[in-house]
Amino acid sequence: MVSNDSERPRIGITTYLEPASWGIWHREAALVPRVYLDAIAAAGGTPLLLPPVGTDPSVLGLLDGLVIAGGCDVDPAQYDAIPHPETVGTRPDRDHHESVLIRAALDRDLPLLAVCRGLQMLNVTLGGTLHQHLPDVVAHDEHRPGPAVFGRVDVKIEPGTLTARILGESTTGSCYHHQALDVIAPGLKVTARSGDGTVEAAEVEGKEFALGVQWHPEENPEDLRLFTALIRSNR
């Protein structure tokens, strides 16, 4: 579905269930950090929250784009691996929810932007695997320097790709992850890497706009290029 020119494009964004507190209440809630919502709104879209309950892919027919948000570790069972000791806090229900939405979005050729864990889910959904603990591979923890501390990553982008058309030949982003792409899924093309070789962006071949990035573009309100490109991609 494409919105009329007078409407702001409707961008769905995945949420996740977490214990939360507000007022006198302490209950489970469907959450997503506000920075995602602000980024979508500032780029010209209307954010619509998609909770991981009652998953119905037909809802994508109401949307003009989809953002798969970052978050917890992907369950290794999704790619037939034994859990690493550092793989914690997995949410299989969320994995299933997002896989259903990713497949439905690709089937519809709905513009898709996958962020951090979202890129990992895109790869796993299409048949790829993950490095469960990146420091084992790159011998440093700069991609996740400490609890709730974002790192900074310099990214080199492959020319002639959608990623390059949006961001140019390089960019710098905020990162916070300890998992990353390992075996790349069929049909997924790596379009950017950091200096240590970590996959930082990938695109689904044959789709107009199906892009995942390993960093967190929503954390930089001064650079909305990825969100703007998503919103403008079907207008």
Q: Which residues contact 194 (CB under 8 A, 6 or more apart)?
A: 143, 153, 154, 155, 156, 200
Q: How far, in Å, CA of 93 to CA of 85, rounded?
A: 21
What residues contact residue 147 under an 8 Å CB cut-off, 6+ apart?
none
What's the mean pLDDT in 93-109?
97
Q: How far apart are CA 49 and CA 30, in angstroms?
A: 9
From 97, 143, 178, 216, active-site residue? 216
Task: From the candidates 98, 200, 218, 219, give the one annotated as an active-site residue.
Answer: 218
Distance, CA of 34 to CA of 117 (rounded, Å): 17
pTM of the model: 0.95
Class of domain 10-130+182-191+203-232: alpha beta
Which residue among 116, 143, 178, 219 is the active-site one? 116
Is there a catalytic annotation at residue 218? yes
With beta carbons less than 8 A apart as the criterion, state whether 70 and 23 touch: no
Range 40-62 average pLDDT:
96
Domain ranges of the chain: 10-130+182-191+203-232
Catalytic residue status for 116 = yes
Q: Reduce the DSSP state of residue 98 to 3 states and report it.
A: helix
196 phi/psi in degrees, rounded to 5: -90, 5
Identify the pLDDT of residue 235.
63
How much is the average pLDDT of 199-221? 97
**pLDDT at 7 (0 to 100):** 85
Catalytic annotation present for 216: yes
Cα-based distances in Å from 42 to 9, 83, 86, 213, 221: 12, 39, 36, 19, 8
Q: pLDDT tens digit string along 151-197?
A: 999 999 999 999 999 999 999 999 999 999 999 999 999 999 999 99
